[in-house]
Amino acid sequence: MTPTKAAAARKPARKKPAAENGAKTRASRTPRRDAVADATAAADAAIEEVVAAKERMRGVAREALGISGRDTAPPLREGLALSGVGWYPLVALSTLVVVDELQGYAFFVLGPEISSTLGIGKGALAGLSTLKILAITLATLPTAAYIQQRGRRGIISIVNAFAWSALTLLTGLVSGAWGLAGVLLADGATTGTVRATHTPLLMDTHAPSVRVRVLSFYRGADAFGNIAAPLAVALLSAVFGFTWRGVFIILGVVSLLAAIVSVRLRDPGVGRWDTARVREVVGGATAGPEQVRLGFFEVCRRLLIIPTVKRILAASAVLGMFIVPLNTFFFFFLEQRWGLGPGGRGVFFAVLPVFAIGAFAVFGKRGEALFQRDPAAFVRASSVVLGVGAILLPLSVYSPVLLGLVVLFGVSFACFGLLGIGLTMTLLSIVPAPMRPHAAALAGIFTAAVGGFGGILLLGGVESTLGSTAAIGFLVVPGVISALVLRTAAHTVNSDFDRMLDELVEEEELSVLRSRGAHLPLLSCRGIDFAYGRLQVLFDVDFTVDAGEMVALLGTNGAGKSTLLKVISGIGLPSQGTVRMDGADITYLDAERRVTRGITQIPGGRAVFGPMTVADNLRVFGYSYGRRRDAIESGIDESFAAFPRLAERRDQLASTLSGGEQQMLGLSKALIVKPRLLLIDELSLGLAPKIVGELLEMVRRINEGGTAIVLVEQSVNIALSAVEHAYFMEKGEMRFDGRAAELLGRDDLLRSVFLEGATKAVLT
């Protein structure tokens, strides 16, 4: 049983501890605690309302995003009309991708002429081509970072088109290797920009019900470019007698015309057909909770923990292993086995896209219907397509007749084209709209860099010892493996799609609640799953802390308490679930950004810098969290006032302090940083009762100052003496959520802690 299945099996036994323990009530000792308890109960109710809405709205949201469960798709014309944009964006972007093919192919074919004109060796030219691939690959990420939630993809596409037109013109005017390198780098960057811009723009421009066909059309245009490019180069060069310079100048002018065609492209807004539609079905709130924008690397990190994304990127890498080095090896093969010269090879590669275009035309509507019926079936079909392509391509090189080679290779080429649509559609559908450029960029990197360079190394080794036929034949191994890997994504794609929907619904529900003036808790963790590698340690954990509240998080050793703190402080990312602060989603925010939002953790053990003095430790706390010098000095004074023993040892190395003094120093961090939420892990570990009492008194004082506190303890007596509300964890699950006094009456839960303590006492 997998960890997730195990968790699912265990959920009913654990689910809803509030019901198990009666309604969550919080006893009070002071008026302030009364207010806190009331607010927390209201916040809990708000969050429960969101959870309930999320489960209720999932089906509606799926339908809104095109997963109707029915095996039908509306006619393309109807879908485009529904999208309200007509044919123009699709035709404009498709035109641009055609002219991009022209420039790339021209450089590829005219390489020998460029080499002999400029006196650049083949090795140097190959190096420049690699540089261009590198530029394509690297440009995707900064582009994704730039356009993240800016909604300027239309204008970027237009500027990009004019830039690459100018670069194509300039290619025809270069006079040496350095000039060529500069032009190719810049041209690679523009192509990379296309990768991160066009498909997310197509997804946001068109309604979900036509997206597979839109992508098929776009890919078909790309394939058409593959036919047009060799014909254009052959026509200009062989028929009209233009040198490579002339060819690039003319292609530059053609690109310029295409760029002019694209000037009316506009960005429809990120998530126009996703976030907006979910907002409509949820209720259409206008004022949402504060949105936390993830940084670039936070987005990438968040994407890389989505199971389906991981599988798709693995398949993309293998696809790159096929596509990128294939041209080189297949050129050698065609020459050696079939004696095809440049012209014959050009015709061969110009014929292949015909197969792809035919496949796209047949696949479009069927693929659309399949995706709308069940994304898992769509992924399974994609894996079959990959498997067929991966088998036919290596098989083609053993064909005894050229026609057999063309047909087998053509069908294989078409399969990879369909796979490209399948991977793009699936990948961009299961990630939130603002993260689509990042996802497209990552797919490009995995295809070109990981797969492409890996393939060149792998096939280069096989080719040098066994020849080009064997090298191409060898591709069946990674191909079939990746088809199997992709097939596993069918098991995860629906849950990942639902997770994306849940996040959208939750966001919108919170907007609605906020607009109604509902109180939201300071911290709210919902449905948290966390795993160290394949070992899942947290299972569907819910945890709430309100502003100014102090709660205890108890449990046996290894129950997952410290792991939950890691998830809250951002040191660990959950594989499922959300962490919200004041209603804003901070689940994937970096730890340092959480600190600036007011979350600080004092880790278990001795949380000090041993080789530094006490005073320096305190200063470092302040500097690390970006506090002003005067605020730090005042915090240090406050710490010394609170812990006079630290003042006495201000110039002493922290490593020479006793355990209790080190914990005091660690706790002083809170006095300097002044967080809104303080997470304290194992405050009492290995300390004498008197010292623990002093530390607890300080914790209470910090709490009285308005800081919410989560006290993680193995010692039940210590924790429950300090708090009104407690959580109890066991084996990664939240087993109790209620009044501390009630927990004391739960022998079934506490026995394990006491027994563990007793065992330790006997052993020691």
Partner 1 sequence: MAFKIDETITITAPKARDTVRLPVTIRWDDGNSAANLRVDPRDPNAEYYGVFVDRAPLGPNRRIESLIGKGDSCRRTPGCPDAAFLARIKVFFTAKPELTLEFLTDLRPSRRGGTKDPHEATIVRMRGDRRVGEAAFLVNYFVDRT
Q: Find the part of the chain contacting partner 1 (CB under 8 A) among 171-179, 375-383, 518-526, 550-558.
A: 171-179
Among 221, 249, 550, 708, binds partner 1 (CB under 8 A): 249
Say if residues 344 and 471 touch (Cβ distance below 8 Å). no
CB of 98 to partner 1, least distance (A): 24
Is 764 a binder of partner 1 (CB under 8 A)? no
Between residue 190 and residue 209, which ones bind partner 1 under the rule CB under 8 A? Answer: none
Query: Of the candidates 49, 113, 590, 638, which one interacts with partner 1 according to CB under 8 A?
Result: 113
Instruction: Between 110 and 201, name the residue whose CB sits nearer to partner 1.
Output: 110
Phi/psi zone of residue 151: left (φ > 0), alpha (ψ -120 to 50 degrees), beta?
left
120 binds partner 1 (CB under 8 A): yes
Contact between 176 and partner 1 per CB under 8 A:
yes
> Given the complex with partner 1, which of 25 and 469 has the nearer CB atom?
469
CA–CA dist 577, 327 (Å, integer): 44
Q: Which structure tokens are listed for 56?
A: 């209720």
Among 2, 72, 291, 464, binds partner 1 (CB under 8 A): 464
> Shortest distance, CB of residue 269 to partner 1, whole angstroms?
45
Contact partners, residue 416, CB within 8 Å, separation at least 6: 319, 322, 323, 386, 389
Pick the closest to residue 679 from 601, 751, 595 (CA basis): 601
Task: Determine, following the binding rule CB under 8 A, whether residue 111 of this chain makes contact with partner 1.
Answer: no
Considering only 235-243, 377-385, 503-511, 675-683, which stretch makes contact with partner 1 by CB under 8 A? Answer: 235-243
Name the minimum Å distance from CB 353 to partner 1.
26
Q: In the numeric block, which tokens belong to residue 2?
A: 């997998």
Q: Does 241 bind partner 1 (CB under 8 A)?
A: yes
The answer to the question of residue 182 lying near partner 1 (CB under 8 A) is no
Q: For 732, list phi and psi in degrees, rounded to 5.
A: 80, 0
Count of Cβ atoms closer than 10 Å to residue 751 Cβ: 11
The Cβ of residue 295 has, within 10 Å, a number of other Cβ atoms equal to 14
Is residue 225 close enough to count as binding partner 1 by CB under 8 A?
no
Shortest distance in whole angstroms from residue 329 CB to partner 1: 10
Q: CA 419, CA 490: separation in Å to the nearest integer?
A: 14
Q: What are phi and psi of 150, to 5 degrees?
A: -90, -25
- Residue 121 CB, nearest approach to partner 1 (Å): 4
Query: Taking a C-beta distance cutoff of 8 angstroms, is the pair 696, 722 a contact?
Result: yes
From residue 286 to residue 325, the character string flagging contacts with partner 1 as x (rule: CB under 8 A) and all else as - is ----------------------------------------
Q: Does 115 interact with partner 1 (rule: CB under 8 A)?
A: yes
Q: Which of 91, 118, 261, 571 is close enough to bind partner 1 by CB under 8 A?
A: 118
What Å distances lie between residue 198 and 20, 414, 557, 562, CA to CA? Answer: 52, 21, 51, 43
What residues numbered 28-57 form the site for partner 1, per CB under 8 A? none
Question: Measured from the CB atom, is 31 or 341 closer to partner 1?
Answer: 341
**Phi and psi based region of residue 583 (left: phi greater than 0; alpha: psi -120 to 50; beta: remaining):** left
**What letters, b where the CB count within 10 A reaches 16 and e where it falls short, cover 368-387?**
bbbbbbbbbebbbbbbbbbb
Query: Any contact of residue 461 with partner 1 (CB under 8 A)?
Result: no
Of 398, 424, 392, 402, which Cα lies nearest the Cα of 351?
Answer: 402
Which stretches of the chain bind partner 1, using CB under 8 A?
112-113, 115-122, 124, 172-173, 175-176, 237, 241-243, 245-246, 249, 332, 335-336, 339, 341, 463-468, 470
